[in-house]
Amino acid sequence: MQLSPAMPPGDALVDSRYTRVPDTNTVFDPSIPTYASLEEWEHRKAELRLHILTATGLFPTPDKCDLSPRTTGVHEGEGYVVENVHFESYPGFYCTGNLYRPAQDGATRPGIACPHGHAAHGRLEDTEIFSVPARCVSLALQGNVVFSYDMIGYNDSTQLPHDFSGEREYLWGISLLGLQLWNSIRVLDYLTSRDDVDETRIACTGASGGGTQTFLLAAVDDRVKVSVPAVMVSAHMQGGCLCENVPHLRLETNNVEIAAMAAPRPQLLVSATGDWTKDTPDVEYPAIREIYALYGAEGHLSEHQVDAGHNTNLESREAMYSWMAKWLHGELDVANTREPAYELVGPDARRVFPDGPPAAAPNRDAVVQEIVERGQAQLESLVPVDAESLERARTVLGGLYTHTLNPLDASTVDVVARTVDGQVERLVLSPTGAGHAVPAALVSPANGCTELVVLATADGKDSPEASPAIDGLVNAGYGVLAVDVFGVGEAAREDRAEGRHFLTFNRAEAAAKAQDIQTAVTYAGERAERVHLVGVGAAGLWTLLARPGANIDGQTAADLQGIDPTDDDALIERAYVPGLARAGGVLSAGILSAPGSLALYSVPSSADMSPIASAYAAAGSTHAFATSRASLDAPAVVRAIVG
């Protein structure tokens, strides 16, 4: 049976996933969608926060170890003190920096986190256009307790390099950006644990890469009451470093919307005429102000632009000082926030580990393994054993899993193209408005049918493995919607441009394949009374990944091809989705499928499927889950559906 092509002769298959491929230098529409109410925005904000935390590997929140802060040096200046401090953000993983505080004792003071940017000397950079010490000394002299901390790979933070990345690390949600954001969260823990800090007056400010860290921290942690991200909130460039990008972070969003998540807390946007923030006063600032207006808090947002290149120069810093003084101290006298002259002990004296980190400090592999094991323990704690824990798994694992796969809303489907040839309808489908192109063929029995089987195969609807399964199901009275998922069969293309930090802005291929299966299931539901789902060969994994988000009221059968669900290398090779292992992978897909009927084939004897079985038992549907060591060939497909 010839099923291809789905497009009419002479018409090209056009898929937005090939034609609109954003990257960090894409000029985004800066406007944030109009929200009819504050409640609507708050819902979006909550989803964005969960999305950011999931992309950075910080949902569920990692268990927090004791900080065990240590001071390795103290230096007194005129009116201020500098301490060299380190603490553990993860066991054995050090966050390093300098604490600047007023010399005189007094009441509790505001605490300010100061992440630095990509200047050559990091937190120790002290030049005319980028001076981190000037910022910190001035803030301390103005009555604040300030912690200036290293980006990973800079100065004293040498356990991991600043180009830290890797497929297995991403699979477990471990990234440079995620580790730095976790360090920032732990910096807030450190500041609020101090007797001299008022935990109700916490702020964050940084420039360039530190600006990215500032608005991300404000987006995910409400303890940040005041924020000043400098030279980074832009619709024109989203951050060029690994520490500003992580897979799937900016799907259907960008830095402008993320920065708006600080609302209604006070926020000052500092920009420059000589970099990508040149349009901030006229473009990004008004867009963010619309969100502040929903709270009636337009006065809590302001902007200041300097006529200079990419910088945090004196003018930029003094604009920040005034904003901090206003919101942290109620100080409105600008004269009191001018940057004073000061003397500072040399940079070597401000090093936390001048001779390198402690000998017992874990290396890269040990740090990664520690985080992986902590993630595994969290996943094990979420395996359902009763109705209550099943509901918790659906909430926590469900949110985590959904924001890992990141499916578009496929609740309605556009039919982009349709031709009919006897019992075969050739179709091109897309989630409504998405511009996708999912070729499919709907084959119906001569007498019609009330049940449809969505069939995905590794080589597509016209492959040798698909044809006998289609024939067998149609002969048994079932209709079949055979689909070419992203990159397969008629949908296969080789011209997809991949710009810088591609996966930050675009879905991984396996996630796109799962999306297309969900799209096909939705369409099948519009055409039939009952829908089944089958994934044969390599498509079995894509099918299983799609199953939790698909509306299936019939049987689901998926071939695992002998893959152990805990085999990271196999997932990377056959169904690579960043964060998938952190989300529980195959096991979570099975858990979240309960109580729907699920049969897994080619399951190796070494595979522990007990977490899925436990979920089905908790759902009262033990009979609905089955595993087999046999492969899912055409006769097995028919038996799985027909019985």
pLDDT in tens, 376-413: 999 999 999 999 999 999 999 999 999 999 999 999 99
Residue 428 near residue 5, CB atoms below 8 Å: no
CA–CA distance, 254 with 504 (Å, rounded to integer): 10
Residue 451 near residue 531, CB atoms below 8 Å: yes
The structure tokens 């149609």 sit at: 474
**Amino acid 533: pLDDT:** 98
**Amino acid 4: pLDDT:** 65
Which residues, listed in sequence order, are joined to residue 205 by a DSSP beta bridge? 228
Three-state DSSP state, 226: strand
Residue 182 near residue 214, CB atoms below 8 Å: no
Mean pLDDT of the chain, nearest integer: 95
Three-state DSSP state, 479: strand
**Amino acid 336: pLDDT:** 80
CA–CA distance, 633 with 469 (Å, rounded to integer): 8
Domains 61-231+263-372 and 392-642 share a fold: yes
DSSP state of 250: T
DSSP state of 511: H
CA–CA distance, 488 with 405 (Å, rounded to integer): 19
DSSP state of 275: S
CA–CA distance, 385 with 390 (Å, rounded to integer): 7
Residues of the chain with pLDDT under 70: 1-2, 4, 7-10
**Amino acid 594: pLDDT:** 98
Integer CA distances (angstroms), 480 to 45, 444, 446, 467, 516, in order: 40, 7, 13, 11, 16
The structure tokens 């499927």 sit at: 609
Q: State the DSSP H helix or E strand holding residue 376, giving kind and residue range, or none if neither.
A: helix 364-381
Considering the four listed CATH numbers 3.40.50.1820, 3.30.365.10, 3.30.200.20, 3.40.50.1220, the one that applies to the domain covering 392-642 is: 3.40.50.1820
The candidate with the shortest Cα–Cα distance to 181, out of 151, 160, 146, is 151
- Percent of the chain scored above 90 by pLDDT? 91
**Amino acid 9: pLDDT:** 66
Integer CA distances (angstroms), 288 to 25, 143, 310, in order: 20, 30, 21
Which stretches does DSSP call E strand in 77-141?
Answer: 80-90, 93-102, 109-115
Number of C-beta neighbours around residue 107 at 10 A: 7
Domain coordinates in residue numbering, the chain: 61-231+263-372, 392-642
**Amino acid 174: pLDDT:** 98
Superfamily holding 61-231+263-372: Alpha/Beta hydrolase fold, catalytic domain (3.40.50.1820)
Cis peptide before 60 (omega within 30 of 0): yes
**Amino acid 10: pLDDT:** 63
Number of C-beta neighbours around residue 160 at 10 A: 18
DSSP state of 36: S
Integer distance in angstroms from the first to the last C-alpha of the chain?
A: 25
User: What does the pLDDT look like over 54-110, one tens digit per residue?
Assistant: 999 999 999 999 999 999 999 999 999 999 999 999 999 999 999 999 999 878 999
Number of C-beta neighbours around residue 154 at 10 A: 22
**Amino acid 3: pLDDT:** 75
